[in-house]
Amino acid sequence: MKKGQIYEGTVEKVLFPNKGQIRTEDRTITVKNGVPGQQVRFQVTKVRKGKAEGRILEVLKRASVEGEPACRHFSECGGCTWQSLPYEEQLRLKEQQIKELLEQAAGGCAWEFEGIKESPDRYGYRNKMEFSFGDGRKDGPLELGMHRRGSFYDIVTVEDCRIVDEDFRKILKATLVYFREQGISFYHKMQHTGYLRHLLVRKAAKTREILVDLVTTTQAVPKEAELLESWKAELLGLSLEGTLTGILHTRNDSLADVVQNDETAVLYGRDYFYEELLGLRFRITPFSFFQTNSCGAEVLYETARAYIGDTKARVIFDLYSGTGTIAQMLSPVADKVIGVEIVEEAVEAAKENAAQNGLTNCDFIAGDVLKVLDEIREKPDLIVLDPPRDGIHPKALKKIIDYGVERMIYISCKPTSLARDLEVLQACGYRMDKACCVDMFPWSAHVETVVLIQRKDT
């Protein structure tokens, strides 16, 4: 087998998140975005000993479980992975993938797998989208949407995206039409020139409040103030189901292709919005982390709460606490909850939220978990971990283990990172007691996993 060669084969299996496995006589080829059972034509892109990587060129025969994609953008858009699979099939696939990963990590120890819980909404479930400005082909018209599947540069306008609701689509369309008419350039990632970068839209599922933030560079455009005023007027003129509570403008000149905050101006309303989860109210600022599927987050947090049970802890640590959702939810079962979060604006919001919710036993500390743990005097008797995708920094994990708590809850958005951290935990006197998946991301390959971790000697 040589790089560049073209073969045909059947996707036998898909490993988390979307690594399709095709077997030939002498090796296994990993391809992206396949569905188990699909017959495909693929090109070899990398060859290693006993293994290879390839790229699907064409689906020759669809898998028997596949149907028509629900979204017309599916073939181009890099956002979703499983649009052609019925929802039950997606659940089955994710459940099986995670079970296998955790089984390996468990290394023979007994544990209980409680399967997968579905998302309360299958469509329109997202409360946040970061759309990018760009073009779909060289020198083509301005586009606003998602990256084309497998492309770093090309953008597909996703005006019919199904994982958000109609308000998102209306705001996207109005913004695109307006800036096309005005002939405003987008930021070119190679040349570092141009103005429009991202459109951030957040809409609360419970309060229906909408926050829109236009992210641009600081490069000069003619009559910028008037340009933005008229854009704002366009949005305010839309007939929306929700309520626009803030229209913002953020300037960002960083070279990285991420939505980040350098300086934000309020063009209309306020620079935050409210969402409600499990009867608690949260103030969310544009750049604070908040679970992107609000109704799914309720299922996730309830699952975690059930694992903790009602026995009262003295001190609970909520590490990687974001806007303090978990800390506040656990407030009734602890004398004190301490949240640690690196984004200062999220910590400020968490403090305010706790006060607004009438909770007096929650403390939030801004900083890196790795450092802050050395500064906290209290010792926890229960630790909840909800780290970002990369998992827990090995040195931070060591400090966490050194507390010697009886139980920990690990919530993970990336089971491969979870599996890696679990192996360390198991080598250090802990074992996985039970685990459950919660599907927060229908049509995509992602899934949340909640694990109860127990000290082996208890």
* Residue from 83, 325, 331, 353 in contact with ligand SAH (CB under 6 A): 325
Phi, psi angles (nearest 5°) of residue 21: -115, 120
161 is an active site residue? no
By beta-carbon proximity to ligand SAH, the closer residue of 187 and 307 is 307
Site map 147..166 versus ligand SAH, x via CB under 6 A: --------------------
Q: Would you count residue 38 as binding ligand SAH (CB under 6 A)?
A: no
Site for ligand SAH in 371-400 (CB under 6 A): 386-388
* Residue from 9, 134, 194, 322 in contact with ligand SAH (CB under 6 A): 322
By beta-carbon proximity to ligand SAH, the closer residue of 142 and 370 is 370
Options 124-132, 144-152, 339-347, 357-365: segment touching ligand SAH (CB under 6 A): 339-347
Buried b / exposed e across 194-216, counting CB within 10 Å, b at 16+?
Answer: bbbbbbbbbbbbebbbbbbbbbb
Residue type, 453: I
Q: How many residues of this chain interact with ligand SAH, rule: CB under 6 A?
A: 18
* Residue from 291, 303, 412, 449 in contact with ligand SAH (CB under 6 A): 291
By beta-carbon proximity to ligand SAH, the closer residue of 322 and 415 is 322
Residue whose beta carbon is closest to ligand SAH: 322
By beta-carbon proximity to ligand SAH, the closer residue of 66 and 318 is 318
Options 83-91, 206-214, 262-270, 338-346: segment touching ligand SAH (CB under 6 A): 338-346
Q: Would you count residue 326 as binding ligand SAH (CB under 6 A)?
A: yes
Q: Would you count residue 340 as binding ligand SAH (CB under 6 A)?
A: yes
Residue type, 368: D
Residue 341 Cβ, how far from ligand SAH at the closest point, in Å? 5
Q: Which of 413, 428, 436, 437 is catalytic?
A: 413
Q: What are the residues binding ligand SAH (CB under 6 A)?
A: 289-291, 320-322, 325-326, 340-343, 346, 368-369, 386-388
Active site positions, annotated: 413
